[in-house]
Structure 1
Amino acid sequence: MPRNSFENYPMSWRPTLKNGTGPLYIRLATQLENDIAHGVLRPGTKLPPQRELADFLDINISTVSRAFKICSQKGLLSGTVGSGTYVAYDICTNIFATSTFSKPHLIELGSMMPETIPQDEVVSLFQKMLTEPDFGKLFQYSHGIADWQREAAAKLMERVGCPVPADQVLTASGGQNSIAAIFAGLFQPGDRLGVDPLVYPGLKSAAKLFGIQLVPIQQENGEMSEAGLRYAVKNDGIRGIYVMPDCQNPTTHTMTAGCREMIARVARERNLIVIEDGINSLLLEEKRKAIYADAPEKTIFLLSLSKTVNPALRLAYLAVPKRYYQEVDNALYNINLSQSSLLLELASRLIVSGQVDALLERRRKGLLLRNQITDQVLSHYDVLGDSTSLSRWLRLPYGITGTEFEHIALEHGVFVYGSERFTVGKDAPAGAARLAICAPDSIKALEHGLLILTGLLNSL
């Protein structure tokens, strides 16, 4: 179709393909990426249908499809069957990164870092280990996990509602690396994974790295709905889902028992892989049943220790069904994500000795105080979360976006994460910001940062 037939036809994007070298779909993808980067295409813009764009450019539709696929795998586009393709809302999530480090007195409320607390139990155990004759062996390459260490891990998982047999436990060097190993072992580039419409940026980064497309699942009362999950299975072809049932990052929502049971049931019926992230589960005051308990053959449960026990323990335990065990184990080995012998030994002794309980209790007391201060300072605003939340979700006044508030706060010396950083899909997120209340190095710094935010909110 000749181009001039589109002169009076509304199109959100009218690229001009110049002569050049290399495959045409690469050149089109490059132009699309450049137009997004330079603001020609804004977040949330709906792109022309692929066939329409192909007619406009007088090229094959497969060329457009391949260009869109490249940009989708980079996280620049979002699309679902029947709704079209949109410029993703999180394309500018790092626009303030460079300016962040240029401010000498910045109060950190953006990155999720645990509060600094006394670690007497860890120090005592480590000092004892130093006196043992075989201590030097812990500096060698890991030779796997011992039976007693598997049993220690299973014991800890049982405490958070995940009754895993000890022989189905794997270990990795942290929760983020666990997710990378699962993606590498069980998924292929182009596979689709269902997620909440707001998820933590690390998951999005891992998905982008492995070419996995994230699909937002329709919500009901702040959690995945059965209708939304079944729709995504049927229409979007998702292979699995990722969930953080306890104190979800960033919204702080804790999933109901009914939703957990629903996910387990649908996963069994539709052969879905469930990645259940229990990063916050150890901090809960009451034990909740994990999804794994109802669908142990379909669920991989992750329990990392750095945010809840000790930041130096870059260690995660994985409860892995037998059908997936070998693939995940191979991925951990092949991309060198296996655990440190030293950290595994230290963590296992903490669990077996029972001294991990004192650490967790100290962590809860610190969280209680920080959450109380947050509630007091922001008492006139809508802040989600409770006494065990590592972060809080601040809903902003109408008309203020998360990105705008992030920028304003940064200019006043406080770093927060706006809701766009967590967004998946084509829909604009509600104006909100995540406050990492454990990141400031003192209670005084936390209170000062919150007071600055209160002043900004009052002026909006």
Structure 2
Amino acid sequence: MDTIWPEKLPQTKGPKYVLVAETIRNAIENKVLGVGAKLPPVRELAYRLQITPGTVARAYSILTNEGLLQAEVGRGTFVAPPKLPVLDDVWSRQLHLRDDKYGADVSLFSPRLADVGQVALIRECLMKVAQAEPEMFLNYPTRDAYQPARQAVVEWLSDVPLGPLTSEDIVLTHGGQNGICVVFQTVLKGPRPVILVEDLSYAGFRRAAELMRAEVVGIRMDKWGICPEALDQTLRQTQAQAVCVSPEVQNPTGSHAPLERRKEVVEVARRHDLQIIEDDCYRMGDARAPSYRALAPERGWHVSSISKTLTPALRVGFAIAPLERSADLRRSAEYGYFGLAQPLAELTRLLLSDPRSREIATKVRERMGEYVRIAVNALGGFDLVWDPQVPFVWLKLPSGWRSAAFSRAAEREGIQVRSADEFALRDGRAPNAVRIAMNGHVSLERFEEAMLRLRSLLDNPPEQISV
């Protein structure tokens, strides 16, 4: 390596990491670096070139993704052998995605599940669907045609404390967001209904409310989520019809509401005849307390999906009404979109009925937990809320950083995170915090490099705070 580097990088325009990557790339192409040649450790090369370790790490990552370099845990980074030509690279390539929409080398914007076998299983199920009777591909879907898929969902949710549940209670939706919209269509009445959300909450609640022409009001929250006293006070001042909560995995803070807190919320809801809509889409592990549907069977609505357990690509979700309201929920779905396409419903049945799916869901959770542990090891010295069974962490920024400024600085480092501002109401106040999602589409090594770049930013806040 000494033969290809000057004492300092040339003073040319453009990012330094691009210059480092280009220098190594040229050396490989010109045979100055042969197959198997070992590159210096990141910190050693950074010291030699008088640049930051993050700059070198980013250059190494780019070349690794191009297949020019390969990283071996515990040994270092080496020049990779030439790639052999393949007939169908789509089926053989390792899954490393670049989020070009946001210009981020490592997108930590939303959780991305690692493939631990679900892709092969989905392909297998798709081939079975393709061999189905012609009627499945020619007829309008009917309620009876969905019954096997709904029963598969009941069995899939058998370990979730939802209260009495039959296949007639299940409404299949196009993912969790569609489930929230269908519930809103069923629950809300009048020209200008009011929906309550936690001060920091899933933005999809607000977007669905906008479609319903509903007003959204924020409720004060604490470490356990929505505050019952604040909920009660707001209900005395408004005619709110529903409150949206995520008691198992609060999005974005990652906290959960214990049983006692849920009982307090139910008590307030009954006092004011308020409907409770529970979004359970982010839970990857076992439920830690009964759902609101189990605690308040007359007013608890439940929305879930397979997006955080198997895959978000199929857009398969489930909406469940309180007792005695299932017919109302089915009517909203049938009037709105008739139901899922029959081939998709059959794919859902095959996928959820296969015993391998539960094993895969467990492996997905364990694999994503590895990413969480890497994030904690790198960022645990800061105010971090995390759980090995939650596919994101909540980072409260140290003094010297604002959430918007930190997000922009992270993006300049090739990393995209979500600022707390994106979870607050338009007129609400957001803390100086960011949500960092786990990205199972990149290697653990590449993810660790991203975490170390974030830690470097946290250790070195700007002298002047951008607002």
Q: Indicate the TM-score class for this superposition, using the shorter chain for normalisation.
A: 0.7 to 0.9
1:230 alignment partner, one of 229, 232, 243? 232
Deviation at 1:252, TM superposition (A): 0.5
Q: How does 1:75-224 map to 2 (within 5 A)?
A: 101=100, 106-119=105-118, 120-132=120-132, 134=133, 137-138=136-137, 140-144=139-143, 145-163=145-163, 164-187=165-188, 188-224=190-226
Deviation at 1:156, TM superposition (A): 2.4
Contact 2:162 2:294 in 1 (8 A): yes
Alignment CA distance shift 1:385-1:353 (3 Å): same
Identify the residue that residue 294 of structure 1 maps to in structure 2.
295
Q: Deviation digits for residues 403-426 of structure 1, max 9, x if unmatched? A: 121112112221111000000264
Identify the residue that residue 397 of structure 1 maps to in structure 2.
398
The AA in structure 1 aligned to 2:192 is: G
Identify the residue that residue 13 of structure 2 maps to in structure 1.
none
Is 1:247 paired with 2:246?
Answer: no
Provide runs of 4+ in structure 1 moved above 6 Å.
Answer: none
- Measured in 1, the distance between the counterparts of 2:274 and 2:179 equals 18
The AA in structure 2 aligned to 1:116 is: D
Alignment CA distance shift 1:439-1:205 (3 Å): farther
Alignment CA distance shift 1:121-1:102 (3 Å): closer
- Measured in 1, the distance between the counterparts of 2:265 and 2:357 equals 31
Contact 2:248 2:288 in 1 (8 A): no
Q: How does 1:248-267 map to 2 (within 5 A)?
A: 248-267=250-269
Q: Which runs of 5+ in 1 are unaligned?
A: 1-99
Deviation at 1:202, TM superposition (A): 1.9
Q: Which runs of 5+ in 2 are unaligned?
A: 1-98, 462-467
**Structure 1 stretch displaced more, 256-265 or 348-357:** 348-357
Q: Does the residue aligned with 1:355 lie in a helix, a strand or coil?
A: helix
Q: Figure out how many residues of one structure are paired with residues of the other and give that number.
A: 359
Q: Does the residue aligned with 2:337 lie in a helix, a strand or coil?
A: coil
Deviation at 1:318, TM superposition (A): 1.4
Is 1:376 paired with 2:374?
Answer: no
Q: Deviation digits for residues 70-125 of structure 1, max 9, x if unmatched? A: xxxxxxxxxxxxxxxxxxxxxxxxxxxxxx84775522011343333322333333
- Measured in 2, the distance between the counterparts of 1:378 and 1:321 equals 41
TM-score, length basis structure 1: 0.72
Q: Does the residue aligned with 1:449 lie in a helix, a strand or coil?
A: helix
Deviation at 1:255, TM superposition (A): 1.2
Identify the residue that residue 424 of structure 2 maps to in structure 1.
423
The AA in structure 1 aligned to 2:402 is: T
Alignment CA distance shift 1:234-1:438 (3 Å): same
Q: Deviation digits for residues 122-142 of structure 1, max 9, x if unmatched? A: 33333344444x166157542
Which structure would you say has the larger Rg?
Answer: 2
- Measured in 1, the distance between the counterparts of 2:418 and 2:431 equals 13
Contact 1:275 1:299 in 2 (8 A): yes
Q: Deviation digits for residues 227-254 of structure 1, max 9, x if unmatched? A: 1111121113221100111121111011
- Measured in 2, the distance between the counterparts of 1:201 and 1:179 equals 12
Tell me how large the CA RMSD over aligned residues is.
Answer: 2.4
- Measured in 2, the distance between the counterparts of 1:103 and 1:284 equals 30
Deviation at 1:355, TM superposition (A): 2.6
The AA in structure 1 aligned to 2:224 is: G
- Measured in 2, the distance between the counterparts of 1:172 and 1:278 equals 14
Identify the residue that residue 81 of structure 2 maps to in structure 1.
none
- Measured in 2, the distance between the counterparts of 1:207 and 1:362 equals 35
